[in-house]
Amino acid sequence: MKKQAFNPYLPSWEYIPDGEPYVFDGRVYVFGSHDRFNGYVYCLNDYVCWSAPVDDLGNWRYEGVIYRKTDDPMNPDGHMCLYAPDVTKGPDGRYYLYYVLDKLPIVSVAVCDTPAGKYQFYGYVHDIHGRRLGEREGDEPQFDPGVLTEGDRTYLYTGFCPKGDKSRKGPMVTVLGPDMLTIIEEPVHIAPSEPYSKGSGFEGHEFFEASSIRKRGDTYYFIYSSVVFHELCYATSKHPTKGFQYRGVIVSNSDLHIDTYKPAEKPMFYGGNNHGSIVEINKQWYIFYHRHTNGTNFSRQGCAEPIYFKEDGTIPQVEMTSCGLNGGPLIGKGEYPAYLACNLFCKEESVYTDWTCSWMNNQFPKITQDGKDGDEEVGFIANMKDSATAGFKYFDCKGITRVKIKVRGYCKGYFEVKTSWNGEVLGTIPVDFANIWTEFSAPIAIPDGIHALYFTYRGSGSASLASFKLE
């Protein structure tokens, strides 16, 4: 029996940002970097892989560690982190993993016979003289590789361009030969960085990082994170190394720009950097991206949403939801964990997670977990003070007459239940101080139909929310 698919699509104790999804032999594989729960910087863990059948996107399988940070000859003591990788199938049928270590300007490559086996170090991208890309005179530092192989040519997209940095001119594409390492066409810039964007059409959404490349029909889609930080944008061209034009935003992990259910510039989640790509699975396209948890930038989780293409090839921006890969709304009955919240906010608005002093951050609600990194503890929402709201989208509701919640913490008040963030309160569930997860309930009728569900805490103290149950 198929499982329902949720966001995040992996277990709540797994932290895989920067997701690059691919379909190989009837399964979808996601390659990404690997954050640590309660981590203090990005990407502290080794690369792992998860996969799912293309016709059962709620049933993810852990493939194990595919590459360790110490596998790179320049990192034997593991003092450098493995930043966002990408994978491509080479002309020899093997799978090639491209990555950059956090303190180096060069691109490393590992290889494996299967998509999710144990990758072995293979070499560094270099020119015909053996000089490594990123270290030569005039090279810009390499970062966030995205790769696409066509025939015996592999297109390598890289770049990192902070706002105001005139030393970085934009994302680059370098063409590699059939050995997957040797440069056969030198890097060229395909989009502008912020200081060089005037008149380009990229103004306001200039390239920052997170290069990714896909091809749909005869069109190349270059997906990237812009200087706005929380959004994934895209540009298109009929050629892989030139002619890219800015086309729009695909997703924001603060849900900014969306005006279908709230004001366009109202943040509905605590966002941060973003990285991901698009993929076609069973004739449906999706955008994979990541969200931020634990009140920091350093414990990110993968999410995905269905997208569609207009006749002109453009992609309308999509909302963050709790049911991204499910193929439709979730069943409006039963118990759901609170970590599935796709909206999380309070009366003090913030577009971004507080990453400057996050260890002191007690102002905002946050998705977190008990235990330490690697413990299979189901996530929950902590620090729900007065006005804190958790939103879940969407549910196919039928005959709901009672709502139950599991709460703990020093709190005394009630939770409002609504079907829109600013809508009518359909009922309230009183809650009180509880040392352990305690169930509270109230008779609340949810109208039949497809709805979002919002839970807003009103009262004193701070509540933690583990789950809700629809009956």
Tokens of 293: 């948890």
Helix (H) or strand (E) holding 208: strand 207-216
- What value does the mean pLDDT of the chain take? 96
DSSP per residue, 283-338: TEEEEEEEEE-TTSSSSEEEEEEEE---TTS--------S-TTTTSPEEESEEEEG
Q: Say if residue 450's pLDDT is above 50.
A: yes
Mind listing the pLDDT tens digit for each residue in 167-207? Answer: 999 999 999 999 999 999 999 999 999 999 999 999 999 99
Q: What is the pLDDT of residue 353?
A: 86
Instruction: Kindly state whether residues 308 and 361 are assigned to the same domain.
Output: no
137 carries an active-site annotation: no
pLDDT-based confidence at residue 361 (cuts at 50, 70, 90): low
CATH number for position 446: 2.60.120.260
CB 94 within 8 A of CB 87: no
18 carries an active-site annotation: yes
Tokens of 363: 């102002």
Q: Say if residue 127's pLDDT is above 80.
A: yes
Over residues 296-312, the mean pLDDT reads: 97
- Secondary structure of residue 360 in the 3-state scheme: helix
> What is the Cα–Cα distance from 466 to 452, expressed in whole angstroms?
18
Instruction: Kindly state whether residues 280 and 382 are assigned to the same domain.
Output: no
Residue 163 lies in a domain: yes
Half-sphere exposure of 389 (CA within 13 A, CB side): 25
Q: What is the pLDDT of residue 362?
A: 66
- Secondary structure of residue 72 in the 3-state scheme: coil
Residue 447 lies in a domain: yes
Q: What is the pLDDT of residue 363?
A: 78
> What is the Cα–Cα distance from 418 to 324, expressed in whole angstroms?
21
| CA quadruple 162, 167, 172, 178: dihedral, nearest 10 | -120
Q: What is the pLDDT of residue 360?
A: 43
Instruction: Kindly state whether residues 335 and 275 are assigned to the same domain.
Output: no
pLDDT-based confidence at residue 214 (cuts at 50, 70, 90): very high
Mind listing the pLDDT tens digit for each residue in 27-74? Answer: 999 999 999 999 999 999 999 999 999 999 999 999 999 999 999 999
Q: How many domains does the chain have?
A: 2
Instruction: Kindly state whether residues 404 and 307 are assigned to the same domain.
Output: no
Picking from 89, 91, 81, 83, the residue whose alpha carbon sits closest to that of residue 112 is 89
Q: Say if residue 355's pLDDT is above 90.
A: no
Residue 361 lies in a domain: yes
Q: Which of 328, 359, 386 is the last residue of a domain?
A: 328
Instruction: Kindly state whether residues 73 and 210 are assigned to the same domain.
Output: yes
Residue 9 lies in a domain: no
Instruction: Kindly state whether residues 315 and 336 are assigned to the same domain.
Output: no
Residue 5 lies in a domain: no
Domain interval for residue 457: 331-470
> What is the Cα–Cα distance from 231 to 234, expressed in whole angstroms?
10
Over residues 89-110, the mean pLDDT reads: 98
Instruction: Kindly state whether residues 347 and 384 are assigned to the same domain.
Output: yes
| Strands across the sheet containing 284-292 | 277-281, 284-292, 300-307
Instruction: Kindly state whether residues 423 and 453 are assigned to the same domain.
Output: yes
Q: What is the pLDDT of residue 2?
A: 85
Q: Say if residue 448's pLDDT is above 90.
A: yes
- The residue from 18, 46, 140, 255 that is catalytic is 18
Mind listing the pLDDT tens digit for each residue in 371-425? Answer: 999 999 999 999 999 999 999 999 999 999 999 999 999 999 999 999 999 999 9
Side chain identity at residue 407, one-letter code: V
Picking from 57, 62, 59, 79, the residue whose alpha carbon sits closest to that of residue 70 is 79
Q: Say if residue 356's pLDDT is above 80.
A: no
CB 20 within 8 A of CB 312: no
Residues 6+ apart with CB under 8 A from 277: 19, 20, 21, 146, 212, 213, 214, 223, 287, 288
Q: Which of 298, 328, 358 is the last residue of a domain?
A: 328
Q: Which of 269, 299, 328 is the last residue of a domain?
A: 328
CATH number for position 267: 2.115.10.20
Instruction: Kindly state whether residues 240 and 345 are assigned to the same domain.
Output: no
Residue 296 lies in a domain: yes
Instruction: Kindly state whether residues 43 and 184 are assigned to the same domain.
Output: yes
Mind listing the pLDDT tens digit for each residue in 216-263? Answer: 999 999 999 999 999 999 999 999 999 999 999 999 999 999 999 999
Query: What percent of the chain lies above the pLDDT cut of 70?
Result: 98
Q: What is the pLDDT of residue 114?
A: 98
Instruction: Kindly state whether residues 58 and 203 are assigned to the same domain.
Output: yes
Instruction: Kindly state whether residues 87 and 201 are assigned to the same domain.
Output: yes
Residue 430 lies in a domain: yes
Q: What is the pLDDT of residue 212?
A: 98
- The residue from 71, 140, 209, 255 that is catalytic is 209
CB 21 within 8 A of CB 28: yes
pLDDT-based confidence at residue 215 (cuts at 50, 70, 90): very high
Residue 2 lies in a domain: no
Mind listing the pLDDT tens digit for each residue in 412-447? Answer: 999 999 999 999 999 999 999 999 999 999 999 999
